[in-house]
Amino acid sequence: MLPPGPRYIITFLPHILAPSFAIGAGLFLAKQYEAHNLPVWAMVTISFLAQPVVFFIKNKWDRLADARAAKARGAVLPPLVKESALAAISKMTDSIKVGYPGDVFYEWLKQHGKNYYQLNVFGAKMLFTTEPDHVKQILATQFESFEKGMLFCNQMDSLLGEGIFNSDGEMWKFHRAITRPFFTKERISDFDIYTRNCDKSLEEARKRLKEGYPLDIQDLIGRFTLDSASEFLFGHNVDSLSAGLPYPKSASVKNTESFYNHPSIKFQHAFNEGQLLASIRSTAGEEWRLIEFWKDEVDPLRKHMDEFTEPMMRQALEARERRSKNTELEDKDDGNNTLLAHLVNHTQDPKILKDELINLLVAGRDTTMALLTFSVYMLIEHPDVERKLRDEILEKVGAQGYPTYQNMRDMKYTRAFLNEVLRLYPSVPLDNRETNKPVVLTMKGSDEPPLYLPKGTTALYSVLHMHRRTDLWGPDALQFDPDRFLDERLHKYLTPNPFIFCPFNAGPRICLGQQFAYHEATFYLVRLLQKFTNFQLAEGENICVPESWKNADGLQATDKIVPTVTLTMSVKPETSNEMLPPGLRYILTVLPRLIAPSLAIGAGLIATKTHLNAHDLPTWSIFLVSVLAHPLISYTRSQLDRLSDKRAARANDAVLPPLLKESTLSIVSKLMKSISSGYPGDAFAAWTKEYGTNYLQMNFFSVKLLYTTEPDHVKAILATQFESFDKGPMFSDQMDSLLGEGIFNADGEMWKFHRAITRPFFTKERISDFDIYTRNCDKSLDEVRKRLGEGYSVDIQDMIGRFTLDSASEFLFGHNVGSLSAGIPYPSSASHKNTDSFYNHPSIKFQRAFNKGQYLASIRTGAGEKWRLFEFWKDTVEPLRKVMDSFTEPMMREALEARERRLNNPELGEKNEENTLLSHLVNHTQDPKILKDELINLLVAGRDTTMSLLTFGIHMLIQHPELEHKLRREIFEKVGPRNYPTYENMRDMKYTRAFLNEVLRLYPSVPLDTRITNKPVVLTSKKSAEPPIYLPAGTTAVYSVLYMHRRTDLWGPDALKFDPDRFIDERLHKYLTPNPFIFCPFNAGPRICLGQQFAYHEATFYLIRLLQNFTNFKFDENENLKPPKEWKGADGLQGTDKIVPMVALTMSIKGGLWITMDEFKADEA
Q: d(Cα 495, Cα 504) in Å, to the nearest integer? A: 17
Q: d(Cα 175, Cα 1070) in Å, to the nearest integer? A: 79
Nearest residue to 973 via CA among 1117, 1165, 1158:
1165
Count CA atoms closer than 13 A to 867's CA, side-chain side: 24
Long-range contacts made by residues 232-235, C-beta under 8 angstroms, separation at least 24? 232/193, 232/338, 232/339, 232/364, 232/516, 233/338, 233/339, 233/340, 233/360, 233/361, 233/364, 234/312, 234/316, 234/338, 234/339, 234/340, 234/357, 235/312, 235/316, 235/337, 235/338, 235/340, 235/341
**Those residues with Cβ within 8 angstroms of residue 1130's Cβ, 6 or more apart along the chain or in another chain:** 679, 682
Sign of CA dihedral 401, 407, 408, 411: negative
Q: d(Cα 562, Cα 569) in Å, to the nearest integer? A: 10
Cβ-count burial of 612 within 10 angstroms (0-12 exposed, 13-18 middle, 19+ buried)?
exposed
Nearest residue to 78 via CA among 432, 450, 456, 433:
450
Contact 772, 807 (CB under 8 A): yes
Residue 94's CB is within 10 A of a number of other CB atoms, namely 13
SS3 1159: strand
544 is in an annotated binding site: no
Q: d(Cα 1000, Cα 955) in Å, to the nearest integer? A: 12
Q: Point out which residues pair with 120 in neighbouring strands.
A: 125
- DSSP string for 121-176: ETTEEEEEE--HHHHHIIIIITGGGEE-HHHHHHHHHHHHTTSGGG--HHHHHHHH
Q: How many helices (H) and strands (E) does the chain have?
A: 50, 21
Contact 183, 363 (CB under 8 A): no
SS3 830: helix
Residue 685: its H or E element: helix 682-691
Q: d(Cα 1075, Cα 1135) in Å, to the nearest integer? A: 28
Residue 7's CB is within 10 A of a number of other CB atoms, namely 14
**Torsion angle, CA of 98/100/102/108, rounded to 10 degrees?**
-90
Contact 295, 274 (CB under 8 A): no
Q: Point out which residues pair with 1156 in neighbouring strands.
A: 1114
Residue 43: its H or E element: helix 40-72
Q: d(Cα 42, Cα 970) in Å, to the nearest integer? A: 89
φ and ψ at 571, to 5 degrees? Answer: -90, 125
Chain-centroid distance, C-alpha 890: 15
Q: d(Cα 485, Cα 473) in Å, to the nearest integer? A: 11
SS3 971: helix
Sign of CA dihedral 79, 82, 88, 92: negative
Contact 1043, 1131 (CB under 8 A): no
Task: Return the DSSP state at 491.
Answer: I
Q: Please give the single-letter amino acid code of residue 992.
A: T
Q: d(Cα 794, Cα 790) in Å, to the nearest integer? A: 11
Residue 414's alpha-carbon distances to 24, 243, 397, 579, 653, in angstroms, are 70, 31, 12, 38, 78
Known binding-site residue numbers for heme: 511
Known binding-site residue numbers: 511
